Amino acid sequence: MAEDVNIEIRESDGDVDVEKNAWFFFGPPKIGKTTLASGWPNCIFLVTSEKEVKRLKVPYILVNTHKKLVAAVDELVDNRRKYKDKYQTIVFDFVDAMYTNCQIHVCKKLGIDHQSEAAFGKGVDMIDNEFKKFVNKAIGSQYGCVFISHLILKDVTGFGGVTKTKAISTLPDRARRIIIPLVSVIGYIDFEEVKIKDPNTGKPKYVKRRMISFEASETLEAGDRDGLLPPKIQSFKDPSKTFELIESYYTGEKVK
């Protein structure tokens, strides 16, 4: 006998809640990705190493095994009422290591050293399904999510067979296929030489600033599915100021 399920048709209002969105940031080491994520309101970090948050004063859970990661996500999501006044955003730092821990967990469960040893692709399928569980649960929850990864430069062949170097995240391909389609915004963080007017002389000069790029190109992995952000914004030393700037594009009340 089929189980009775109540179906409710709803209508979305077209408004995007920046605090409940799913974000993916990547960039070179020590560029300030973790610091940037700490600017999200009432965030809690799930970290694969305590070194990630040593310089910050933020709540965190050490998830250096896949079991700990799953348990942490289950605790936060299943007990949302308990934590709703404390935490709004879950930061996954960093997600590459979380995928590796998932691989280790599944291989240990199967009694093998590498997923390729499992017959008929069973190993990789189990890893994908295990990884999807916590990703889907977190993104489908009432929390906002911020995923952090690193940078790799990869040669890709474009139109006309021309090879270009593209900046992409170090996320393994199978993990990429799971996470990237689910996040709303992909931001690339790096330093750039920016032209400004010298306040003393009035003449133009170049300064080095940390910038976040949201516009994809042949040489950059990025994206803004919401379509509300500019191609680039500055990432300030104060991460809450950066979040305030991002939020202003969503509310339509852009700050300077």
- pLDDT tens by residue, 47-88: 999 999 989 999 999 999 999 999 999 999 999 999 999 999
Parent domain of 99: 20-251
What integer pLDDT is reported at residue 2 of this predicted model? Answer: 57
pLDDT in tens, 144-160: 999 999 999 998 887 77
Give the pLDDT mean for 1-28.
Answer: 85
Beta bridge partners of 42: none
pLDDT in tens, 159-207: 777 888 999 999 999 999 999 999 999 999 999 998 888 888 888 888 9
Cis bond leading into 134, ω under 30°? no
What integer pLDDT is reported at residue 158 of this predicted model? Answer: 73
Tokens of 131: 């990884």
Cβ atoms of 32 and 17 within 8 Å: the answer is no
Question: Which residues lie closer than 8 Å to 151 by C-beta, 6 or more apart?
Answer: 26, 27, 28, 29, 167, 168, 169, 170, 188, 190
Distance CA 172, CA 174 (A): 6
pLDDT in tens, 195-251: 888 888 888 888 999 999 999 998 999 999 999 999 999 999 999 999 999 999 999
78 occurs within a structural domain: yes
Q: Nearest-CA neighbor of 189 among 143, 239, 251?
A: 239
| CATH for 200 | 3.40.50
Q: Nearest-CA neighbor of 177 among 246, 216, 229, 125?
A: 125
The CA distances from residue 160 to 144, 156, 164, 217, 218, in Å, are 41, 12, 11, 16, 13
What integer pLDDT is reported at residue 171 of this predicted model? Answer: 94
216 occurs within a structural domain: yes
What integer pLDDT is reported at residue 239 of this predicted model? Answer: 97
13 has a pLDDT exceeding 80: no
122 has a pLDDT exceeding 80: no
60 occurs within a structural domain: yes
1 has a pLDDT exceeding 60: no
If one counts the domains in the chain, the total is 1
Tokens of 8: 């409710």
**Weakest-pLDDT range from 5-9, 132-136, 251-255:** 251-255
* Torsion sign (Cα): 161, 163, 168, 171: positive
Distance CA 214, CA 189 (A): 9
50 occurs within a structural domain: yes
What integer pLDDT is reported at residue 102 of this predicted model? Answer: 96
